[in-house]
Copies of this chain bind each other. A is one copy, B any other.
Amino acid sequence: MPFTQEQIEEEQTHFANVITTFQQYAPYALNANNKRRKDFHTLPIADRELLTSLGYKDRISAVDHAIFVNAEFLNRVIASPDIFSGGGPDEDEDDPEMKGNDQDDSDDDDPGHESGPAGRGKSHSHSHSHSHGHGAHPHAHGSHDHTHDESPSGGDGSQTQQRKYRPTEHDMDKLRSTLKQLVRDWSMEGKAERDLCYEPIKEALIQHFSDIPQEERRNFRVLVPGAGLGRLAWDVAKLGFACQGNEFSHYMLLASFYMLNRTDAIHKHTIYPYVHSFSNNPNTDALLRPILIPDVLPSSLPEGADFSLVAGDFEEIYGGSDNLDEGDPSVGQWDAVLTCFFIDTAKNIVDYLRVIHRILAPGGVWINLGPLLWHWEGNTTNDPSVELTLDEVKALARKIGFKISNERTIDTTYTNNAQSMLGYVYHAAFWTATKVV
């Protein structure tokens, strides 16, 4: 559906603000670290000498260095062609290994349509000013974050574009979460977390299609809403299925585009995702250890793999009209929907489950893993929020027309610093659900 000029401008402003956040990372993070240096110099000389003998001052300097390295990486990410504006000067449309299918909310669902894995059309780029995409969402912190993005249309936003946007702590938190998300999705360090979350989902998917020969998997279309940095969707494509990820957050989209389309070697990049908090570190290594990404070559999908990422709001892109009849082309076109730490991003979970149900083919499978950290609970932006218990979500799914099986609880972390003295453990709900009505 078309967007209004106002919506398009709001979107552009929001995207520009995210870019500014990337650009401002170094001064922002260095300033926070420099406060430690200033505080140090307010201490009595005896304390300074004691702390210096422990290596405290050297550690502050080492963190400065790590911030510079992070900043270099983040600047490379945003130096990539603008994925939302139809391409930049160094865009490589001919990348032979990254063929994909840009699914969108128009009638254009030609499976042969090729483009980069991240959606480029304007129709893909719209997103609300409330960036609550999975990757940068509160799961990354293990606690609620009630500060949703304010609309950028006033203040530092489109009304005053001449003035440089000043990123907030909330913006920077999302950027720091993006670094941790890279660990989760694209590093060896993240393998333990991926094994806990993605493997059960992939196993259930393979189980559901166990009578399909591997070479025919590409005829089955799998959707991953809340795809984050794309690893689960990529893994599913690697298994041979046609797989599309959908993601809302600009932070995630920028980072996943860079990883998937502009990264040509294993361990190409070094980042320091844990240098931003000095709390709960058992030792210096916990704070300062480098993480190498990626652990696999993103372009190593098999010849002819059908893999794409689509930018935008799940309900807007896949929801279509409420009045669709069963003959509508958007109905029943997916054979599987995989939701991992996603369903609690709903304002109204009824809508999410209805969309998942509607777009699944008869007998299609919905596989879910995640907690219920309702992202819009207590929001201050006057958005509606419906917050069900797990029992209620399952009861709702049954009423909407799913048969739930394979129910269990999987204990898992989420973008956890494995060496921290504080860990967040989600007792995540897992299930396989088939569309029965």
Q: Is the CB of B399 within 8 A of A53?
A: yes
Count of chain copies: 2
* A144 neighbours in B (Cβ, 8 Å): 277, 279
Question: For A281, what are the chain B residues with a Cβ–Cβ distance below 8 Å?
Answer: 372, 389-390
Binds B, one of A81-89, A298-306, A377-385: A377-385
Shortest distance in angstroms between A176's beta carbon and chain B's nearest beta carbon? 12
Tell whether A209 is near chain B: CB-to-CB under 8 Å: no
Nearest B residue (CB) for A375:
B279
* A392/B54 in contact, CB under 8 A: yes
A236 sits at the interface (CB 8 A): no
B39-A279 in contact (CB<8A) = no
Give 1 or 0 for each of A115-147: 1 = CB within 8 Å of chain B CB: 000000000000000000000000001111010
Tell me if A159 counts as interface (CB < 8 A to partner B): no
B390 near A421 (CB under 8 angstroms)?
yes
Whether B348 lies near A43 (C-beta < 8 A) is yes
A436 at the binding interface (Cβ < 8 Å)? no
A427 and B413 CA atoms in complex are apart in Å by 14
A3 to chain B, nearest CB (A): 23
| Residues of A in contact with B, size category | 35 or more
Which of B280, B384, B387 makes the CB contact (< 8 A) with A43? Answer: B384
Rounded to whole Å, the gap between the CB of A99 and the closest CB of chain B is: 39
The answer to whether the Cβ of A296 comes within 8 Å of any Cβ in the partner chain is: no
A95 to B40, CA, bound (A): 48
A389 to chain B, nearest CB (A): 5
* Bound CA–CA A63/B386 (angstroms): 15
Known contacts A421-B427, A421-B429; A386/B279 CB under 8 A:
no
Residues of B within 8 A of A351 (CB): 47
Determine if B396 and A54 form an interchain contact, defined as CB atoms under 8 angstroms apart: yes
Cβ of A365 < 8 Å from any Cβ of B? Answer: no
For A424, give its contact among B55, B59, B396, B422 (CB under 8 Å): B422
- Is A384 a contact of B42 with CB atoms below 8 Å? yes
Which residue of chain B has its CB nearest to the CB of A419?
A: B427
Alpha-carbon separation in the docked complex, A47 to B43 (Å): 60
Question: A284 near B389 (CB under 8 angstroms)?
Answer: yes
A371 contacts chain B at the CB level, 8 A cutoff: yes
- Complex A-B, nearest 4 residue pairs according to Cβ-Cβ distance, in ascending order: A278-B387, A39-B384, A143-B143, A371-B421
Interface pairs (21), CB distance under 8 Å: A36-B386, A40-B386, A47-B348, A50-B350, A51-B396, A54-B388, A54-B392, A54-B395, A59-B389, A144-B279, A146-B169, A277-B377, A278-B374, A278-B388, A279-B373, A280-B372, A280-B373, A283-B390, A284-B391, A371-B421, A421-B427
**Further 8 A-B residue pairs, CB within 8 A, beyond A36-B386, A142-B422, A425-B425:** A35-B378, A54-B392, A54-B395, A59-B389, A146-B169, A279-B374, A283-B391, A422-B424
